[in-house]
Amino acid sequence: MAKRCGSMSNIQGHPCFGGNHHKNGRMHLAVAPRCNIKCGYCNRRHDCANESRPGVTSRLLTPGEAAAKVREVMASPAIGPLIKVVGIAGPGDPLHNEETFETFRLIGEEFPHLIKCLSTNGLLLPERMSLLEEIGLHSLTVTLNALDPRVGKRIYSHVCHDGAIHRGEAGAALLIANQLDGIRQAAKLGLTIKINTVLIPGVNDDEIPAISRKVRELGAFVMNIMPLIPQADFANLAPPTPERLDALRQENEKTIGQFKHCRQCRSDAVGLIGQDLPVAQPTQELLFTQTA
């Protein structure tokens, strides 16, 4: 793989990588319904038009519908000039869905100036790296919540890979190994990398300093420590206090830059961070699949 020159030059204006998030917007395309791991904090079974959290969307799109939506938004005099980034962040894992790559190919053909961004759990990163290079991906977000499989098994109930279901420490170890290898390869390719880490009080607090050191060593650019949204398996846990979150960010900023204006966006977010356009009211419950 040939490393692209100057990865930061590829993402000028990206609101999650130093661009002005008051002036530069992004557009998430919900084309990836299937997921290959089960995170204890994830609930993608329903959507409310008034909520903002990862993994929800009011409507799944086909690649063709996604391209049409980008065309419509970019043609708007009020919104189009704000959009610098087109991203795919779910509602499942983008690398586990071929629709992701078809969508990026279509967008790249029609809007080559837009920054292409993808968020993933990282399980398939090593084996999808050539595809990411082919579509001209600019920036990558990997959610990495643990380095120790003993901690990981408390977060992930199972991991599906190559037609097999892996549970416990074995599943967590497989996921973590692929995440780290994928981050290393992505940095070598020249992608600009953000690491998302969900802070789960009493579960992975002690992992965060080690994660920050490791991902910096592998070539990540910035880290985003996100507060737990209590739901699913962790519905009974209290989220971290703002003071605790801020203290961890300050402590780990000594190791790697910290992304502090995250709003834990929906899979169909459009507009400026914190000022998204209204989403269409869903007409029925949306059911997404956890599948190998």
Q: Compare 47 and 104 and report the one with higher pLDDT.
A: 104
Tokens linked to 179? 């995440």
Per the prediction, the chain carries an average pLDDT of 83
How many CB atoms sit inside 10 A of residue 241's CB? Answer: 11
Instruction: Specify whether the CB–CB gap between 70 and 27 falls below 8 A.
Output: yes
Across 26-30, 203-207, 274-278, the highest mean pLDDT is recorded for 203-207
> Looking at the domain that runs over 7-276, which CATH code has it been given?
3.20.20.70
Tokens linked to 281? 């009211």
Q: Compare 185 and 17 and report the one with higher pLDDT.
A: 185
Strand partners, 195: 142, 223
Q: Is 120 helix (H, G, I), strand (E, B) or coil?
A: strand
In this prediction, residue 18 has a pLDDT band, given cuts at 50, 70 and 90, of low
In this prediction, residue 259 has a pLDDT band, given cuts at 50, 70 and 90, of confident
Please tell me the predicted confidence (pLDDT) of residue 12: 53
15 closest CA partner among 273, 257, 225: 273
| The pLDDT of residue 270 is above 90 | no
Q: Compare 129 and 45 and report the one with higher pLDDT.
A: 129
Please tell me the predicted confidence (pLDDT) of residue 17: 55
In this prediction, residue 202 has a pLDDT band, given cuts at 50, 70 and 90, of very high
- Condensed to tens digits (0 to 9), the pLDDT of residues 103-117 reads 999 999 999 999 999
Please tell me the predicted confidence (pLDDT) of residue 57: 54
Strand partners, 32: 91
Please tell me the predicted confidence (pLDDT) of residue 274: 47
| pTM, full prediction | 0.82
